[in-house]
Structure 1
Amino acid sequence: MKIAVASGKGGTGKTTVAVNLALSIGKVQLIDCDVEEPDCNLFLRSDIDKYQDVILPVPRVDGNKCIQCGKCVQFCQYNALAVLSSGPMLFPQLCHGCGGCMLICPENAITEDERITGVIERSRSDARIDLWQGELFTGEPMASPVIRQLKTNIREGEGEVVIIDSPPGTACPVIASLRDVDYCILVTEPTPFGLNDLMLAVEVVRQMGIPFGVIINRNGMGYDGVEVYCNSGDIPVLMKIPDKRQIAVLYSEGIPFVMQMTEWKGHFLKMFEDVCRQILSTKEN
């Protein structure tokens, strides 16, 4: 069972929910797909080791074989190749590594090199949470290849529970994180900005056909637009986390609040049971 935790914007408490949910369930695989800024381990404090490099294939053009026909340029949807009077030019950071230019070249002038764009890391502690995270190297523009490779390490066995902490927003890295999950928990905050970005995130998961529910974090700030929107759209509100100073203080100290406010483990477990029922109901229908 794969459950993603996502949000339409940063700073809503997505990682807080993912980590506290994982700690409440126990014996889970936690996949930190926010590869530009992985921070689950700021709260778990596990020993992390490098597991593998993320390698992206990029084309290499042999100028002696290239006849400057331009077929590779026409094929590439990302403008990673150009044919100039001086010869072919590659823009490697625009390349998505699909290999199509190599296949379409009539002169076999294109081969592939490898470029390391990030790393996959794994916790080596004997804790009940098996943490995996990806890290995109500074200056690299594409997070999705790192996310896709990170997700190949997800265990698919019977009874396995996988929590995916996705990047914020609604762009390509989020799509890569949410693909093939069984359920998505959208975390929002009770503000007009939170509502606007929640609506965008809801549209994404609906287009992807993923069952979902909402957690309202910092509840009690005085704005009820988010709850009105959820009620009007028959969107389940899975949990409301109060705007409470103790939670904020624990967060600032890097302490998951279920570790000291232990009654919240029960709240998260109940929510997990509700999510399991929704997943089962969706599969039956």
Structure 2
Amino acid sequence: MKIVVASGKGGTGKTTVSVNLALAADRDVCLLDCDVEAPNAHLFLDGSVRSQRDVTVLIPEVDETRCDGCAECSTFCAYNAIVSFGTVPLVAPDLCHGCGGCKRVCPTKAIREVPKRIGVVETLQDGAITLVQGQLDIGVTLTPTLIRAVKDHMQGDLVIIDAPPGTSCPVITTLHGADFVVLVTEPTPFGLNDLKLAVEAVRDLGLRFGVAINRATEDDTFVRPYLREENIALLAEIPDNRRIAEAYAQGRPILDVMPDYKPLFAGLLRTVCEAGA
């Protein structure tokens, strides 16, 4: 069962929901932090790093003695990562997506590929929770590539995936293959606006989903009416509670500080597993 916890904007509580879902499972669970530009699930767990490996992409390197300046590689590249003006091509490694196409189309076999590091994937263990997180190197833009590397490490029959915020390419990469998506939102105009974008994205991908409202209040006039209008399942409501905010600021999960919230998260996990089965 692969559960993705996502949202249309940052700061809604995706990591809060992801970590506490994993803690409420009371079984072996694989937690993936796919927010590789700012992973933070590890801040709420006590595990130590068990393994770490570099993630690389292959970028072109041109042999000037073989290149005749035909520009076939430049014509092929959709990202302008290799450019030729009738001379030996110039390579922009930061633009390269590592597809290998330039090497394939080169008629003189003047291009070879060399590895370039884009980040690391770390595995941590905290009791029954195996946390896999990616950390993108500074200045690198190949976020989806590193996310796929993180997802390659998923294991077991229960996987909870903490997605990046928004609805752009990194989020779509994270959503692929999900059995169910929990969209986390907050009862504000901004929360509603970005929830609508997230709903549109998961519907376009044909994924089953529901919504969890974080910092919920009784006078919500934004999210609840929208969910009723769109016939979207309201999976859970996490109340606007100062103790939860204090726990978050201290890097402590809700269930560590307020174990009476365990039925809420255990019920959410049970509902999601039944809906996604």
Could you state the TM-score of these two structures normalised by the residue count of structure 1? Answer: 0.93
Ranges of 4+ aligned residues in structure 1 off by more than 3 Å = none
Aligned to 1:279: 276
Query: Match for residue 66 of structure 1?
Result: 67
Q: Quote how far apart the aligned CAs of 1:84 are.
A: 3.0
Q: State the alpha-carbon separation in 1 of the partners of residues 50 and 56 from structure 2.
A: 18
Q: Please tell me the residue identity of whatever aligns with 1:208.
A: L
Match of 1:179 in 2: 176
| Counterpart residue identity of residue 44, structure 2 | F
| Counterparts of 1:265 and 1:251, CA distance in 2 | 16
Q: Structure 1: any 5+ residue segments left out of the alignment?
A: 281-285
Contact 2:69 2:87 in 1 (8 A): no
Quote the offset at 1:143 in angstroms. 1.1
CA distance in 2 between partners of 1:124 and 1:254 (Å)? 17
Gaps of 5+ in 2: none
Is the aligned partner of 1:29 residue 2:30?
yes
Percent of paired sites with the same residue = 47
Aligned length: 276
Question: Which residue is 1:255 aligned to?
Answer: 252
**Structure 1: distance between partners of 2:99 and 2:134:** 21
Residue 89 of structure 2: aligned partner:
88
The correspondence of residues 18-57 of structure 1 with structure 2, limited to 5 A, is 18-26=18-26, 27-57=28-58
Residue by residue, what CA displacement relative to the aligned partner does 1:119-163 show, whole Å, maximum 9, x if unpaired? 1111145x11011111101111111111111111112x5xx1000
Aligned counterpart, 1:112: 113
Give, in whole Å, the separation in 1 of the partners of 2:209 and 2:183: 7
Please tell me whether the aligned partners of residues 187 and 213 of structure 2 are also in contact (alpha carbons under 8 angstroms).
Answer: yes
Aligned-pair Cα RMSD in Å: 1.4
- Please give the alpha-carbon distance, in whole angstroms, between the structure 2 residues aligned to 1:167 and 1:221: 28
Contact 2:102–2:111 under 8 Å retained in 1: yes
Residues in 1 aligned to 2:206 and 2:198: alpha-carbon distance in whole angstroms: 12
Task: Assess, with a 3 A threshold, how the Cα gap between structure 1 residues 42 and 221 changes in structure 2: closer, same or farther.
Answer: farther
Map 1:80-229 → 2, pairs under 5 A = 80-84=81-85, 86-125=87-126, 127-155=127-155, 157=156, 160-220=157-217, 222-229=219-226
- Kept in 2: contact 1:221–1:243 (CA 8 A): no
The one-letter amino acid paired with 2:178 is V
Report the secondary structure of 2:89's partner residue. Answer: strand
Per-residue CA deviations over 1:13-63 (Å, capped at 9, x if unaligned) read: 000000011000132110111111110010003112442110111011122
Would the aligned equivalents of 2:47 and 2:125 in 1 still touch at CA under 8 Å?
yes
Aligned to 2:181, the other structure's residue is in SS state strand
How far is 1:262 from its partner?
1.4
Q: Deviations over 1:137-190 (max 9, x none)?
A: 1111111111111111112x5xx1000011111111111111111111110111
1:239 and 1:68 mapped to 2: Cα distance?
61
